[in-house]
A and B are shown apart, each in its own frame.
Chain A
Amino acid sequence: MGNVFDLIVSTLTQGLIYSLLSYGVYITYKVLDFPDLTVDGSFPLGAAVTAVLLTRGVDPYLAIPIVIAVGALAGLATGLIHVKLNVRDLLAGIITMTALFSINLQIAGSNLIIGRDIDTIFSAGPTMALLGSFSLIYRKLIISIIIAVLFKLLLDAYFKTRSGLLLRAVGDNSVLVTTLAKDKGSVKIIGLVISNALVALAGGIVCQEQRAFSITMGTGQVVFGLATVIIGMTLFRKLGFVKGTTAVMAGSILYKSCIQAAISMGMPANLLKFITAALFLVILVIGNQQKGGAKKNA
């Protein structure tokens, strides 16, 4: 039954890579309480930059910090528009997302494909030196685990710093931040910068994994991110010791698994979204009931 095992491996890989996006949405939506629509633009931004860099012969590892920086700029744009120009949160995100649509096309020219003769982080020299004995799908899994766990730990560590604590305070009780004589605007900007850096990184890794950039790949990513955050928080967060980042990582894996299960069961693709919606609803309802039960017990 090697084939089933392969399927699980590649589904886990997808879930792990996309969990970077979920972390990003977790920061804005859950921690900052900021519905950030920039994601639909910053995700393909990461992919566009990656595709251009790789096809021009830039080292695939070097593409990672570049993509993070570019994504941070996208978040900075939304943050400045919101804080400095006093544009409402939703609109600020929409403005950046819309602009990014053109910027992404300008960067990439058109949809781009990374040929097999070009190395990605899954096939470049250093990777092969360390993991050369594994087949490609396992290399992809191992690297995805490393990246997803590394950024989870970095984020967890960040949330414990002064800046991270302020970030959480803005979402929970912004008055407190003001009384601490801190500017909540700049805290929001920092949150948006980190969030979109992660989202663009997700786009970049997806692009390296799939060897393609398409202008439409951002469509629906905000919804995906929100769904994974809510699924993760609903199902796992009430276990006190599970960190928010762990919960959304699990949410992302769960979401991708549901889609893969639907495909494997031969669900007609036109119904996939509906099935996803139904699953989403079921999970939320279960989560709510458990929450009610917990209260009664207490």
Chain B
Amino acid sequence: MRRIAIALFIIVIAVVSAAGCGKKVPTIGISQYGEHASLDNCREGFIEGLVDAGLTEGKDFKVDYQNAAFDDAIASQIAQNFSSNNVALMLAIATPSATACYAAAEDKDIPVVFSAISDPVKAKLDSGNVTGTSDKLPVEAQLDLIRRLQPEADSIGIIYTSSEINSVSTIAEYEQKAAAYGFTIMSIGIMQQSEVTLAADSLISKGVDCFSNLTDNNVVGVLPSMLEKTREAGIPVYGSEVEQVKIGCVAAAGIDYFELGRQTGAIAARILKKEAKASEIPYETISEYGIYINSSALEEMGIMVPSDIADRAIEANN
């Protein structure tokens, strides 16, 4: 027993020395679910949003940034760490981090600000000392864009992870709205990343006219290999945000995560300045979306871009 006690004591000391520093500058604990271009953009935008609101890093706030490398158990430990350190505010990027932060803040009055969550209501983040921004996809704008670029197309293939709350609710919206634009949705739900390319093969063999992506982590993670297949088959793939277009999707009506982050930063600034409590600020959905195109991918697929779209579209090509 004594050895156990000694070992535990050593750990306690280690944790104490690591965590013990209590300066007056309020700390913002940023918990990001993993490293991922869109989520990184979101975080960088967040800092800029704070700076825009007149706050200076180092003077008005400091940042403790942690990412969970897509591991839920670590996301939860990060959240508890923030809670124990009594951070002034938690920024949680992506749903698993947000639910973990909100759970860790349960008995404390630490405001939680989230970003990059499609459905805050389903994630039970719509009441309490919590607010943030939703990255709900502009589904109608995307359907409209596909219709304009491929006037002849009938069906859209979508691959999504059936366990992701975000993806399931977006698929429902696609199915509900597709008919108005003359499309049928052919969707395949997958459980693991390794199934994405199999699902793509299956949809290609069923003869879909194009693919449209969600912000589904599993699908986005293996997008390059999926694009290889679709390029061979001559089927265009539409992305859901700028990073996907950069790596070879033809176009996207999507949100700009940097902007989303900036909007989130503005909310956080109000809380830090004590202008409002998180519980008093309703979550915001980004209303602005951009149209992003990848000219070389479009050309490869033989798609002509109507001039009005070309005028407002932003070229995203690496």
Interface residues of A (CB under 8 A from B): 1-4, 6-11, 14, 101-102, 105, 108, 110-111, 113-116, 135-137, 209-212, 214-217, 219-220, 224, 235-236, 239, 241-242, 246, 250, 253-254, 256-261, 263-266, 268-270, 272-273
Determine the residue in chain B with the shortest Cβ distance to A247.
B4
Can you sample 29 A-B contacts with CB below 8 Å? Answer: A1-B16, A3-B22, A3-B85, A4-B19, A4-B20, A7-B19, A8-B15, A14-B80, A101-B191, A102-B191, A105-B163, A110-B162, A110-B165, A111-B95, A111-B165, A116-B124, A137-B107, A209-B103, A210-B99, A212-B96, A212-B99, A215-B163, A216-B72, A217-B73, A250-B8, A253-B8, A256-B77, A270-B67, A270-B69
Q: Which residue of the partner chain A has the closest CB to B4?
A: A250
Contact of B124 among A115, A214, A256 (CB under 8 A): A115
Query: Which B positions have Cβ atoms within 8 angstroms of A?
Result: 1, 3-4, 7-8, 11-12, 14-16, 18-20, 22, 34-35, 64, 66-74, 76-78, 80-81, 83-86, 95-96, 99-100, 103-104, 106-107, 122-124, 128, 162-165, 168, 191
- A220 and B128 alpha carbons, distance in the complex (Å): 33
Chain A residue with Cβ nearest B18: A264
Is A11 touching B72 in the complex (CB atoms < 8 A)? Answer: no
User: Are B103 and A242 in touch, CB under 8 angstroms?
Assistant: no
Determine chain A's interface SS by DSSP, over half rule. Answer: helix
Contacting pair B19 A214 (CB below 8 A)? no
Asked if B12 and A8 sit within 8 Å, CB to CB, the answer is yes
CA distance A151 to B21 in the complex (A): 38
Taking CB atoms, residues of chain A closer than 8 Å to B78 are 263, 269
Judge whether A220 and B71 touch: CB under 8 Å. yes
A266 to chain B, nearest CB (A): 8
Question: Which of A224, A236, A242, A261 is within 8 Å of B14, CB to CB?
Answer: A261
Residues in A with CB closer than 8 Å to B22 are: 1, 3
Closest CB pairs A-B (n = 10): A136-B107, A7-B84, A6-B84, A264-B18, A215-B163, A115-B124, A257-B11, A10-B80, A269-B67, A265-B18
A273 and B80 alpha carbons, distance in the complex (Å): 19
Distance of A134 from chain B, by nearest CB (Å):
10
**Residue of B at shortest CB range from A116?**
B128
